[in-house]
Structures are given as C-alpha cells and as structure tokens.
C-alpha cells in the first residue's frame, strides 16, 4: 500500500497536524479490504482503492485513472451497498470535509456541505444552528453525498424538500458543474444520479435550503407519540430530532454492532385499484396516501409473511424491523442476497406486490 501524506494547517492553531485517521491524505492500494467501509461488514476486497480527502485529490485521481484499472465505483459511507463478491475494478472513496452557511434571504439559509461529511453530523449541525427542515432525517446512516442520489427520506421528509443545488465533477472530462434541484429529477428513492448520470459524475458537495423560521412536520403519528412520551412541552426542531433518534434506536440496529444497510427494500407504491383489492382482503394493511397512489409498508408486508427475526446461518431479518436484513458476523453478500430473494418471492406470492431493493447490489 502507498500512502501519499498531505499536511494541513489547523485553523486557529499555530501548528501543523498530520491526520492519519481518515481525512487528510490520499490512500492508493491494491487488493484493499472493504470490510470496515461497508456497514454490512462484509469481507470483500477491491482490486484498486483510492481515498480522496479533498477536491483536488479527486481531480488528481481522475487524471491518472484509466479503464485498465477496471470499472469505477464511488464509495461514501458504505451504508447503502451490498457487495456480493470482491470488486474487480477501482473504488474511489470520497472523504471530503467542510460545512458552511453561504448565504441567506428573508426566509431561508443556504448551507454548503462537502460530500464526505457524515449525514447525521450535518443534521445535528443545522438543528443546533436553528435551521429547520432536516430534523426528520436524523440518524440516517451514510454521508452527505449520497443524500441526493437516493433522495433519502424519513417521517414525511425527503432530501428533495431541502436540497437546492448539487456540485459535481464529470468523471471523463474533470469539468465541474452545478445541478439544480429541479434538474435532479427526484422520485421516490430515485434521482438523475441513479439513471442518466450514473457512473458519469462525482458529487463533491450539496447545497441545502433550510428554514430560518422552522415549520415542523409532525405528519407521522410515531413522531407525535414519541413527543408525548418525552413530555417536552411545545416541540421544536431539537425535540423533533431527538424523537426521531429515539424511534430509530428502538427499532433499528446500530451497524457498528450488527451489520446492516438500513432499509433493504423500498415501500411499494401501487395504484388505487390494486390497493382497494388488497384492502378488501387485508383490512389492516399499513399504507400512506401519496399523490393519488398508495405507498404500502414493506415492513408490514414482510412481517405478515413471517420473516421477522428469521435467521439462516449468519444472514437474517432483524427481530425488531423486518425491513432490515442483517449480518450476524460471517454472512456473505451472496447469502444476504439469496435471503432477500426469498422474501421478495413470498411477498409477491401472498400479496401480488413485488418488492424492489433500496440497497445497491454490487
């Protein structure tokens, strides 16, 4: 392994520090273990591996990268990926850091965040500054650069609701460009970055538009119930953030303790005719109305098929949240994928609804 160290002055301090943890140097390596870089904790390797801690290093990498190094995979927090084998090409891990308020107007504040920033740390930063809009997205694992790709969402809020612009670099030309929220073509866990721009650009930073006078979104009953249990009085963005954290910690495993990638499946969206047919046969079916369609709870469907808590070797379904598949220690990506296929088949057989994976299968 070759380490290219880059020294950086610490703001406000009269000394130079070499950070060997994660951020301020570029790593170049062959046959590099990705076990600690994917939240499933799968023991896989990449043929070549690079880690970039600043935008200049991304550009340096692109200048030297060639197709002889195999296909290119951009990796962030590794929280939404399932490796089924060693990666035959090059992995570029983005570890860029930086967050700042860049402007404001009468109603909004605009915050620029580097792609390598940990998402929940940014939510905390914005909430502590009193900027509203992110609080319902608390404790979602992963890095900021993945937020627009997945159009991450939870408890009535999606990234598209707060995103203003995305700054990118073209992989082939190295050209920088800015993509507006309207140009991102956001859908349910979908965006232009998963379609037309997949494999063509690298997200370097994201600009969010947040409320100077926060308007709380308490549309999900679970948040209201948790706020009542917390007995905090009149809620604000800080208490909403804490309520979301409490809810997620009760039902979701900590990837540092039990390998997982969060929600493995998308909640299926079906037309009214299909929903009424299911509602007639299953009166207690869990759903949310969404733009003249019905979004079913994938967790409910999976639970009704008896999968919650099931374990096959070291691959299993979480015992509190059936939407989450877990690695109890030595499961392979293939074993987890096979388990997901069995779940998909059983849900389709019973309900006539085909689940789609939210996790990227590599």
Which pair of structure tokens corresponds to residue 278? 């299911």
Closest CA to 87 of 72, 68, 108, 104: 72
CATH of the domain at 200: 3.30.465.10
Does any domain span residue 17? yes
Query: Residue 291 — pLDDT band, cuts 50, 70, 90?
Result: confident
Sign of the Cα torsion 12, 13, 14, 18 reads: negative
Same domain, 122 and 72: no
Among the candidates 94, 129, 153, a domain finishes at: 94
Give me the catalytic one of 55, 117, 135, 358.
358
Q: Is residue 147 situated within a structural domain? A: yes
Instruction: Determine, yes or no, domain membership for 246.
Output: no
Question: Residue 358 catalytic?
Answer: yes
Is residue 206 very low, low, confident or very high in pLDDT (cuts 50, 70, 90)? Answer: very high
Catalytic (active site) residue 263:
yes
Confidence bin at 208 (pLDDT 50/70/90): very high
Is 89 found in the same domain as 18? Answer: yes
Domain membership of residue 249 (yes or no) is no
Q: Catalytic: which of 189, 209, 241, 248? A: 189
Please tell me whether residues 202 and 103 are part of one structural domain: yes
Burial of residue 96 (CB within 10 Å: 0-12, 13-18, 19+) is buried
Active-site residue, from 191, 205, 263, 340: 263
Last residue of a domain, one of 60, 94, 128: 94
Asked if residues 338 and 245 have their Cβ atoms less than 8 Å apart, the reply is no
Q: Is residue 138 part of a domain?
A: yes
Beta bridge partners of 268: none
- Does 321 share its domain with 288? yes
Give me 323's structure tokens. 């939407």
pLDDT, position 29 = 83
Containing structural domain, residue 34: 2-94
* pLDDT at residue 67, as a whole number: 82
**Domain-ending residue, one of 211, 243, 270:** 211
Same domain? 88 vs 132: no
Q: Tell me the backbone φ, ψ of residue 258, rounded to 5 degrees.
A: -135, 115
d(CA 333, CA 129): 40
Residue 70 token pair: 């195999």
Q: What's residue 293's pLDDT?
A: 85
Report the pLDDT value the prediction gives residue 26, as an integer from 0 to 100: 52
32 and 89 share one domain: yes
Mean pLDDT of 315-322: 96
Strands 81-82 vs 360-361: parallel, antiparallel or unpaired: parallel
Q: What is the pLDDT of residues 149-204, one digit of tens each?
A: 999 999 999 999 999 999 999 999 999 999 999 999 999 999 999 999 999 999 99
Give residue 240's Cα distance to chain centre: 20
Residue 307 has which token pair? Answer: 């999968």
More confident residue, 99 or 14: 99
Q: Are residues 295 and 313 in the same domain?
A: yes
Is residue 17 predicted with pLDDT exceeding 90? no
With a pLDDT cut of 70, the percent of the chain lying above it is 92
How far apart (Å, rounded) are the C-alpha atoms in residues 143 and 79?
A: 8
Report which of residues 8 and 135 the model is more confident about.
135
Q: Is 212 a catalytic residue?
A: no
Judge whether 41 and 35 are in contact, CB under 8 Å: yes
Residue 21 scores a pLDDT above 70: no
What CA–CA distance (Å, rounded) separates 264 from 183?
27
Q: Could you please report the per-residue DSSP string of 148-189?
A: HHHT-EETTEEGGGTEEEEEEEETTT--EEEEETGGG--BTT
Do 355 and 270 fall within a single domain? Answer: yes
Tokens of 310: 């099931």
Whether 216 maps to a domain, the answer reads no
Q: Across all residues in the chain, what is the average pLDDT?
A: 91
In a domain, 16, yes or no: yes
Together in a domain, 76 and 106? no
Give mean pLDDT, residues 199-219. Answer: 96
Residue 120 pLDDT level (bands cut at 50, 70, 90): very high
pLDDT of 263 over the 90 cut: yes
Give the count of domains, the chain. Answer: 3
Whether 35 is in a domain gets the answer yes
Between 154 and 14, where is the model more confident?
Answer: 154
Please write the tens of the pLDDT for every residue from 54-84.
999 999 999 999 888 899 999 999 999 999 9
For residue 307, is pLDDT > 80? yes
Return left, alpha or beta for 309; rule: phi > 0 is left, psi -120 to 50 is alpha, else beta. Answer: left
Kindly state whether residues 118 and 198 are assigned to the same domain. yes
234: CB partners within 8 A, 6+ apart: none
103 shares a domain with 72: no
């Amino acid at each position: 392994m070759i380490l290219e160290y880059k020294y950086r002055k610490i703001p406000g301090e009269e000394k130079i520090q070499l950070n060997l943890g994660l951020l301020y140097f570029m790593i170049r390596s062959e046959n590099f273990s990705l076990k600690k870089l994917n939240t499933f904790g799968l023991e896989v390797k990449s043929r070549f591996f690079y880690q970039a801690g600043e935008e200049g290093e991304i550009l340096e990498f692109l200048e030297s990268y060639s197709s002889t190094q195999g296909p290119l995979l951009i990796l962030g927090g590794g929280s939404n990926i399932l490796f089924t084998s060693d990666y035959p090409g090059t992995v570029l891990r983005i570890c860029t850091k930086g967050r700042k308020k860049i402007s404001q107007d009468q109603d909004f504040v605009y915050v620029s965040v580097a792609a390598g920033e940990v998402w929940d740390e940014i939510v905390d930063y914005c909430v502590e500054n009193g900027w509203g809009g992110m609080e319902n997205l608390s404790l979602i694992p992963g890095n900021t650069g993945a937020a627009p790709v997945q159009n991450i969402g939870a408890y009535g809020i999606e990234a598209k609701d707060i995103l203003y612009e995305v700054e990118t670099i073209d992989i082939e030309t190295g050209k920088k460009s800015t993509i507006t929220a309207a140009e991102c073509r956001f859908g349910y866990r979908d965006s232009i970055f998963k379609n037309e721009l997949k494999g063509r650009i690298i997200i370097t930073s994201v600009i969010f538009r947040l409320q100077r006078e926060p308007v709380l979104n308490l549309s999900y009953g679970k948040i209201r119930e948790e706020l009542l249990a917390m007995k905090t009085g009149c809620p604000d963005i800080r208490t909403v953030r804490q309520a979301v954290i409490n809810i997620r910690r009760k039902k979701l495993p900590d990837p540092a303790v039990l390998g997982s990638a969060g929600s493995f499946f998308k909640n299926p969206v079906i037309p009214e005719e299909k929903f009424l047919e299911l509602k007639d046969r299953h009166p207690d079916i869990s759903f949310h109305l969404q733009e003249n369609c019905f979004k079913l709870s994938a967790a409910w469907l999976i639970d009704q098929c008896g999968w919650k808590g099931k374990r096959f070797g070291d691959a299993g379904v979480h015992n509190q949240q059936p939407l989450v598949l877990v690695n109890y220690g030595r499961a392979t990506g293939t074993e987890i994928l096979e388990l997901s296929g069995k779940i998909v088949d059983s849900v389709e057989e019973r309900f006539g609804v085909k689940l789609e994976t939210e996790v990227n299968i590599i």
